[in-house]
Amino acid sequence: MPKLTLKFDNAILGEVPIGSKEVSIGRSPDNALVIDNPAVSHYHARVFIEEGRMMLEDFGSMNGTFVNGQRAKMVMLKPGDSVTVGKHTIVVSDASDMDGFAPVGASVARPAAPKINETVMLDTKERREFLRKVAAVGESAQVAPARVKVATLIVRSGKTDRQEYALTDKLTVVGKSALATVKLKGWFAPKAAAQINRREDNSYYIGAADKTPSVNGNPISHPTKLSSGDVIAVAGIEMEFLLRD
Amino acid sequence: MSTTAKPMIASALDFAARSDTGRARENNEDNFQVAAELGLFILSDGMGGLDAGEVASRIAVETIHAHCRDAESNPDLPFEGQRIDGASETSNRLASAIRLANKLVRGAAGEAAAAHTGNGQDGSPKTAKGMGATVIALQFFADRVSVAHVGDSRAYRLRGSEFLQLTDDHSLVAQQVREGHMTEAEAESSPLKNVLMRALGVDDAVETEVDEEIAMEGDTYLLCSDGLTRELSDSQIAAVLGETTDAQSAADQLIDLANLAGGGDNITAIVVRVGAKSGRALAKIGRWITRSGN
C-alpha cells in the first residue's frame, strides 16, 4: 500500500498509509497528517486515490504545496515524489511495489543448504531486469546519463594560486598542502581546509577538513552535493562551483 | 593528475583487525589481510554454499594484497581494466587489484561448479551459483587514503565528533533509498536487504567504486562486514571508536558487542588510527610543560 512519510530535516515524524480513505494534511488536529507549524494552513491539502491514481490537491493554502519543487494545485503523485509543505517534507513511497520484486532475487543463488540471512547477488542481466521493473513502476533515476559536464571552480575572492580550476580529479583538496589543487596563499592558511570529491556518478560533494566550508552561506554538517551556481566559502576564500557543457 | 607518493609510514598508523564466526553460523566466510608496510587494509565477506564463501573471500584478499605488493616493486605490472580518470596511481592500482580478484573468484566459481556437476551441456563453463564476495579496501599514501569497494562491506571514519560512512552499499535496498523509493527504516526491515547489486565473482567484469579522502591526524577508520553493521547502530559504533584509546581494544569491543547483540553473521572489523591518540595528547602536554617552564 502506498504511504506518506512526514519528515523534518532528516527526522521521520510520522507515516500514513493511503488507502480508500483520503489523507488530509494540515495544522488542525483533525487532519490525518497533522503538521503543527504556523506556515501550514489548518486544512492545507489532501492526498487521495482516484481511478487508481494517487492525487494531491492543495486547498488554496496560504503558503502553497510544492511537489518536487513545483507549486501544485492538483497533481498526480508517484512513488519517490517529494511534497513540501512549509518546512516539512512528505515523501511518497510504495512499499507494495517492492514486494513484487522478490522473485528477481529469489530466483538466483539458492545454495543447496539454505542458511539464515543468505546474501543474494544479482548479475548484469538480473540487475537490468530489476531496473526495468522499477522504471515500469513510474520513476527511475537510471535514466541514460546526460553529456558529461565539466566542473569548474571560479575564485571570487581570496588568495589562491589561480582564478579558475577544472575539477577533473577524484579528490580536490583546498589548502596549503603540496598535494592541494586549489592552493591557498598566506601565512595562516590551513594545510587542508576542505575537500571536493567526484563520485562514481560524476556528482561532486564538498566536505570539511581542517575547516568547515559554507555552501550558499550555510555551514555544512556533512558532505554536501554541489549544484551548478553554488557559492563555497572556506578559509577566507569564496568560490563559485559551475557545471559547464 | 595522478599522484605518486610513498605510502604513509606504518608507524604513523595504529591498527588492529579481528574476525569472528559469530553465534549463528558454523563457519567464518569473512577474510581480511593487513599489509602495514603498504598502508593497505583489505576485508572481504564471502558467500556461497559448502566452503565456497571462505574460498571466495580468501582469494579476494590474497589477490588484492599480492597485486598491490607486486605493483610497488614493479610499476610495469600489467594493469587490469580501464584506468579511472583523475584518480591517483594508488587508487588505480587498487581498482586493478579488485578487478583481478573478480576474475580469479569467477574462475574458482567455475572450477567448483565443474567439480560438482561438470561443464554445462552447451559446452560453456558453469559457475558455482552463489559463489562470490564483497570487498572493502583502504590504502593510505602521502596525506590521503584510497577507499575502494564492491558490495555491502563498509568503511567508516570518525573525525572529531563527526562519524561518516565513506561507502555507499551496492545493495538493492541502499539503491532504493538513494533514489527515494524507500526510507532508511523500510530498508532496515526489508526482506530484500540481502540482495547485492555488485559482488566479486558474479560477472566477467565488476564495477569497482573508488574514492579518495584526506587522511588527517586523529582520524579513526573502520572497515567492517555486514555482520557488524546489522547488529550495531552507527551511534554505538561511533561511541566505541571514540571512547577506546587504542585500535586493538576498539576492534575487540566491537566484535564482543556485536556478539552480545546476537552475532547473527560473521563479524569482522579492522580499525586504523592515523597518529596515535595518546601520542598526540603527550605532545600537547609536553608543549604545555615547556611553555609554562619558560
Instruction: Check pLDDT > 90 for residue A2.
Output: no
Mean pLDDT of A143-161: 78
- Does A164 touch chain B if contact means CB atoms closer than 8 Å? no
pLDDT tens per residue, range A58-90: 988 888 899 988 888 988 888 889 999 888 889
pLDDT tens per residue, range A172-213: 999 998 889 999 988 889 989 999 999 988 899 999 999 999
Mean pLDDT of A144-167: 83
**Partners of residue B167 on adjacent β-strands:** none
pLDDT at A145: 44
CB contact (8 A) between residue B172 and residue A105: yes
Greatest mean pLDDT among A105-119, A146-160, B44-58 lies in B44-58
Of B155, B132, B146, nearest to B224 (Cα)?
Answer: B155
pLDDT at B6: 42
Cα gap B110→B131, rounded to integer Å = 9
A88-98 per-residue burial string, b: 16 or more CB within 10 A, e: under 16:
bbbbbbbbebb
pLDDT at A241: 96
pLDDT tens per residue, range B56-78: 999 999 999 999 999 999 989 99
Q: At what angle do helices B234-243 and B247-260 cross, to 10 degrees?
A: 150
Cα gap B65→A234, rounded to integer Å = 38
Cell triple for A77: 503523485
Chain center to CA of A108: 31
Q: Strand order of the sheet with strand B267-274?
A: B13-20, B267-274, B220-224, B154-159, B162-165
Residue of B nearest to A126 (CA): B197
Where does the pLDDT of residue B163 fall: very low under 50, low under 70, confident under 90, or very high at 90 and above?
very high
Instruction: Check pLDDT > 80 for residue A17.
Output: yes
Mean pLDDT of A162-167: 93
Cα gap A175→A134, rounded to integer Å = 43
Nearest by CB to residue A121, choosing from B84, B180, B196, is: B196
- Does B210 touch chain A if contact means CB atoms closer than 8 Å? yes
Cell triple for A91: 515523501
Instruction: Check pLDDT > 80 for residue A43.
Output: yes
- Does A193 touch chain B if contact means CB atoms closer than 8 Å? no
pLDDT at A119: 74
Where does the pLDDT of residue A109 fall: very low under 50, low under 70, confident under 90, or very high at 90 and above?
very low
Q: What does pLDDT average to over chain A?
A: 80
pLDDT at A102: 31
- Interface mutation target, options A94, A107, A121, A129, chain B, most CBs of B under 10 Å: A121
pLDDT tens per residue, range B122-141: 444 445 567 899 999 999 99
B 225-264 residues inside an 8 A Cβ radius of A: 230, 264
Q: At what angle do helices B89-117 and B52-73 cross, to 10 degrees?
A: 140
Cα gap B149→B167, rounded to integer Å = 7
Q: What percent of chain B has pLDDT over 90?
A: 66
Residue A33: CB partners within 8 Å, gap ≥ 6? A4, A6, A14, A16, A23, A24, A25, A26, A90
B 87-126 residues inside an 8 A Cβ radius of A: 87-88, 91
pLDDT at A101: 31
Cα gap A4→A16, rounded to integer Å = 5
Nearest by CB to residue B24, choosing from A93, A116, A123, is: A116
Of B60, B51, B40, nearest to B137 (Cα)?
Answer: B40
Q: Are β-strands A150-157 and A164-166 bridged in parallel, bridged antiparallel, or unpaired?
A: antiparallel
Report CA-CA distances (Å) from A172 to A33, A153, B158, B177, B214: 44, 11, 21, 27, 9
CB B59 within 8 A of CB B52: no
CB contact (8 A) between residue B87 and residue A98: no
pLDDT tens per residue, range A198-207: 998 889 999 9
Q: Which amino acid is at B37?
A: E
Q: What percent of chain B has pLDDT over 70?
A: 85
- Does A13 touch chain B if contact means CB atoms closer than 8 Å? no
Cα gap A83→B130, rounded to integer Å = 41
From the CA of B24, how many Å to the nearest CA of chain A? Answer: 8
Cα gap B175→B34, rounded to integer Å = 30
A-chain residues near B181 (CB < 8 A): 79-80, 93-94, 97-98, 134, 137, 139
Q: What does pLDDT average to over chain B?
A: 85
- Does A169 touch chain B if contact means CB atoms closer than 8 Å? yes
pLDDT at B276: 52
- Tell me the count of A-B CB pairs closer than 8 A: 149
CB contact (8 A) between residue B191 and residue A79: no
A-chain residues near B89 (CB < 8 A): none
Cα gap B267→B260, rounded to integer Å = 12
pLDDT tens per residue, range B179-200: 888 888 888 888 788 889 999 9
Instruction: Check pLDDT > 50 for residue B291.
Output: no
Residue of A nearest to B175 (CA): A141
